[in-house]
Chain A
Amino acid sequence: MNLGFVNPALLWGLLAAALPIVIHLINRRRARKVSFAATYFVQLSNQRLARSLKLKQWLLLALRTLLIAALVAWLARPYTRPPADALAAADTGRPTARLILLDASLSMQARHNGTGLFERAVVKARELTRSFPDSDAVGLVVAPLGDERPPLAPSFDRQPVLDALKRLTPTYLPNDFGPALERARALLEGSALPERRVYILGDLTRAGYDHDFRFDDPEGKSRVTAIDVREQAALPNLAVAALEAERAPFSGPRDWRVRVQVANFGSQPISALPLSVSIDGKNAADGFLDLRAGETGIKEFVVAVTQIGRLEMEAAIGVEADVDALEIDNRRHGVLDTGRDIRTLLINGRPSTTRYLDEIFYLKQALNPGGIDRSRIRARSLSPESFTPAALDEIDLVYLCHVPRLSSDAAAALVSFVTNGGALFMSMGPNIDVEAYNRDLAALLPGPLRGDHIGGDRIDPGRTGSAVYLSRLDTQYPAFRIFNDETMKSLTTTPVRRYMTFDSAALPDTTILAAYTDGSPALALKQVGQGRSLLYTTSVSRSWTDLPIQPGFLPLMQELAAALTTTGDRLDPNSKQVGEWLRLPDNARQATLIEPSGRRVKLTRDAATDRPVTPPFSVPGFYRLDSSAGEQIVAVETDLRESDLTPMDAVTRAEAFGSGSRLAGLAEGGLAEQRVEMAAAMAWLLLLLLLGEALVLRWMG
């Protein structure tokens, strides 16, 4: 068993062990000279005590010297290792190409007994490199593979491997031993040496193995030794598994329902786990969560978000290190898009000085119920006569409400507006000029209009009165997701006395979002170019239906407006994972990436597309993209699989690394675990030496 030190440079401190001796000698030299008449008696006393006193003094000197030496040795962190490295000694003795495969994935940032797994792996790798015989070649592959971590083919020169190990830092990437092992095998096959060995240094979690790859060497030249740097210890871990948010219009026009999913990968239940949500760096909600072992729990908050735009949302758990080996996954990020203001233009086909008779009175109230500050929908109204193409500038959504007809120019402008990405909502009424619509706005209609229809003619046998009702809603459509049976009730029980029919024989690019009880379409959405056109076959005033005065009318109009303009209905689905990258929009020519640390990186252009491309995201957090197309926030997450620190079982290990592979602990190279034991032993030794010194001092009187 050889002795080694983690910090051998500190052993220079052993020179300090000579201090007591030096002090003793200096004291001898600096002893005060006393001219004394009774020196004879001093001599007599000294002689009598000399033997025991000298013994005690030397004992004390030895104890103090040992004490300092032990203290220095303790600081240098001693450890033991098998002679000439057991891993190497187990070999045939023939020249061998050795390749160290080091796991630098996210899970290696976990800590065990106060030491990082990655740090353990690097120390072990360094030791292995130094311990191999000179006749062997040593190489290095770092998993996951990446340009920043180029593999080093086996070479007799150890220095490149040692230098690479010195520079190596853990990544936030998920592990995949498959490609790394493949690269290792390829590098070994390129070596002319008769024997080949691979040393995998990692936490060997079950999530880090790609089941599609199997390391096997039919010639039997290569063997894999997997060194588990955490010694098969069960590492508990908690992680924020998901962060979801969606609007909660029934709670309030600005309310969001935020769901935080927390996974407990440990074997112990956790109670009252503190949990918090912050938006744009400000705390928005706090709560606690109880989790059974191995369980994933959900905590739901309703948060009022008054800010508009793309906001940084973060969920975090506060947890003690003893139940959480990996700290980095204790938070999760998302970009909450509360949308920008939706600018709408309401073309009023039947204005009236009597407010409730005005065609758009109820619609306007629904879109902007509390005034300009309470809703993000900005509504401006015009008469059909004053509508010009210029009015469409900076408009997201146009409402064509019971407009009998439009001039051909206005109709053409409207078609162009929608085709280029604008949104159109058309509502019907008794004065609609069907022919003009079918002629000028055919491109925007799901089918040619046929004329209005009295609902009572096809009344549902189960209902009374001459009316139909909304009955079928496409609940997959974003605007209807918020509705349930209860909240839909006011809409489905309100009669629709009249509605417009259209030819629904062939409906290209059209989706029927809702129908009446008689089967006729109530809401038909058509994709027109890059825009969308929605036909609401009844009126937004009370002329054909009482729906506008129902409680459900307001969220229906709000959600339809949001859905048609596709803005701000949830967390940004485009959040990225560490290792992924982002291609910028077409119109982004110059762009700067601001990393979570605040570092600014000017992006280079992709040669193929001539558009700036981000480098792969390397750390979790919020990245900001500042480009000519505007500012964009990207939330970058870690791979949740890395949070599961459950060790790989024996079967999987054999499957992954080959049947000839074997599992080794750090002890075989003498590392962290024994280091800890030595530290404890050294601490005991120090204590004993201190005790010994005290006893000798007491003995000396």
Chain B
Amino acid sequence: MATRLLDPDLLAKIGNLSVRARAVVDGVLTGLHKSPHHGSSIEFAEHKEYAPGDEVRHIDWKAYGRLDRYYVKKFEDETNLRCALLLDASTSMAYGDGEEQKLAHARTLAAAFAYLLLRQQDAPGLSVFRERIDLFVPPRAKTSHFNELAEALVRSEAEGGTDLAAAVEQTAERLQGRNLVVVFSDFFDTQPEVLRLLARLKTRKNDVVLFHVLHGDELDFPFEHLSQFEDMESDTKVLADPVAIAAEYRRVFGAFVDDLRTRCLSGGIDYVLARSDRPPAEALLAFLLRRERAV
């Protein structure tokens, strides 16, 4: 562990991710013009009379002023929001360069989400999945938890295939109480049961949000020269004249995106399209604004 923490490259990456996450959140909050402390996830439960062993810092000094007794604010664990961040780290998420890589974009979004939740004293957890969940960070509400999450995110490299259904199923088994389930993926492996599973989660009073992370190339298909397209997760190779098929591709791909969105909406699942060639704050802000309107 010590070795891992002393890895300067890793630390730099974590630092960068942290800075990016904060920048995204600050930008988003500035855009919202609202204090994060008024978020719905801070659930004040009740006062209880102070007894030895209670946290002194939880003593409500205003109540003491009024009542001359020590009362302690009680925040019950079960009332805190737990958030399961599901990050797709399959090979297909490696498409794109630098900040525009889908995985990098998804990492930033996940980190920003975690940062935002921690600021609200909610408990974000992380599941990095490929054909199954390969890495799980349980949800905690401590501020220091961010570093753990960030490190897990940074360590997640794109490799292997995808089995989103398995990941969702595993996640569902781990969930307790009310949860916010946020999935960051390109959803290229969307089996019908995935959405059914997600819809089932939703019915259990969990909130489900899909961040559909796509690269601009996948949406716009800007290729010009005769190319051999090689799938990143299978051996499929397709020789095609991009100019000739561009219109058809956009139509087919557009239908796929629309279909996913429609199914999500019909299942009460929140859907956010996150283009990796656009600033991450854009997708996050779109999501939060929608939530605010819903509230």
**A interface residues (Cβ-Cβ under 8 A, vs B):** 27-28, 31-46, 48-49, 53, 57, 700-701
Contact = CB atoms under 8 A, between A and B. Distances in A.
Contacts of B188: 37-38, 40
Contacts of A38: 188, 218, 253
Contacts of A700: 244
A46 B251 CA distance: 12
Given A37-B188, A53-B241, A45 B229 contact: no
Contacts of B226: 27-28, 31-32
A53 B232 CA distance: 25
Contacts of A27: 226
B227 A34 contact: yes
Given A36-B230, A39-B230, A39-B232, A701 B245 contact: no
Contacts of A49: 244-245, 248
Interface in B214-229: 215, 217-218, 223, 225-229
A45 B245 contact: yes
Interface residues of B, number: 37
A33 B228 contact: yes
Q: Which are the 6 A-B pairs with shortest beta-carbon distances?
A: A39-B231, A37-B92, A37-B95, A45-B248, A45-B249, A38-B218
B238 interface: yes
Contact of A41 (B230, B233, B253): B253
Contacts of A39: 229-232, 234, 236-238
Interface in B179-222: 186, 188, 215, 217-218
Q: Is the interface of B mostly helix, strand, loop or mixed?
A: mixed
Contacts of A44: 252
Given A31-B239, A36-B218, 16 more contacts: A32-B225, A32-B226, A33-B227, A33-B230, A36-B217, A37-B215, A37-B232, A39-B229, A39-B232, A39-B237, A41-B256, A45-B248, A46-B238, A46-B240, A48-B248, A57-B241
A334 B161 CA distance: 100
A46 B230 contact: no
B215 A42 contact: no
Given A28-B239, A33-B230, A45 B252 contact: yes
A273 B92 CA distance: 84
B204 to A, nearest CB: 32
29 contacts: A27-B226, A28-B239, A31-B225, A31-B228, A32-B225, A32-B226, A33-B228, A35-B95, A37-B92, A37-B94, A37-B95, A37-B188, A37-B231, A38-B188, A39-B230, A39-B231, A40-B188, A41-B252, A41-B253, A41-B256, A42-B229, A42-B240, A42-B249, A43-B229, A43-B238, A45-B245, A46-B238, A49-B248, A53-B244
B231 A40 contact: yes
Contacts of B95: 35-37
B19 interface: no
A37 B102 contact: yes
A45 B231 CA distance: 14
B45 interface: no
Given A42-B238, A42-B249, A45-B249, A34 B229 contact: yes
B247 interface: yes
A694 to B, nearest CB: 17
A49 B244 CA distance: 9
Contacts of A701: 244, 247
A425 B92 CA distance: 125
Contacts of A34: 223, 227-230
B228 A32 contact: yes
B244 A37 contact: no
Given A37-B102, A39-B229, A53 B245 contact: yes
Contacts of B223: 34
Contacts of B231: 36-37, 39-40
Most buried by B among A34, A35, A700: A34
Contacts of A53: 241, 244-245
A34 B228 CA distance: 6
Most buried by A among B218, B230, B251, B252: B252
A37 B218 contact: yes
Interface string B37-58: 0000000000000000000000
Most buried by A among B95, B232, B237, B240: B240
A108 to B, nearest CB: 57
A31 B227 contact: yes
Contacts of A31: 225-228, 239
B195 to A, nearest CB: 18
Nearest to B244: A53
A36 B239 CA distance: 12
A309 to B, nearest CB: 78
A33 B188 CA distance: 21
Contacts of B238: 39, 42-43, 46
A701 B243 CA distance: 9
Contacts of B236: 39-40, 43
A36 B92 CA distance: 8
Contacts of A43: 229, 236, 238
A284 B183 CA distance: 102
A37 B227 contact: no
A37 B233 CA distance: 8
Nearest to A44: B252
Most buried by A among B228, B229, B252: B229
Nearest to B214: A38
A48 B252 contact: yes
B245 A46 contact: yes
A682 to B, nearest CB: 31
A48 B240 CA distance: 12
A33 B232 CA distance: 12
A35 B230 contact: yes
Contacts of B94: 37
B130 to A, nearest CB: 14
Interface string B71-104: 0000000000000000000011111000000100
A36 B240 CA distance: 12
A35 B244 CA distance: 19
B241 to A, nearest CB: 7
A44 B188 CA distance: 13
A582 to B, nearest CB: 76
A36 B245 CA distance: 15
Contacts of B229: 34, 36, 39, 42-43
B177 to A, nearest CB: 35
Contacts of B251: 45
Contacts of A33: 227-228, 230
A34 B231 CA distance: 9
Contacts of B102: 37
Contacts of A36: 95, 217-218, 229-232
A48 B244 CA distance: 12
Most buried by B among A35, A36, A49: A36
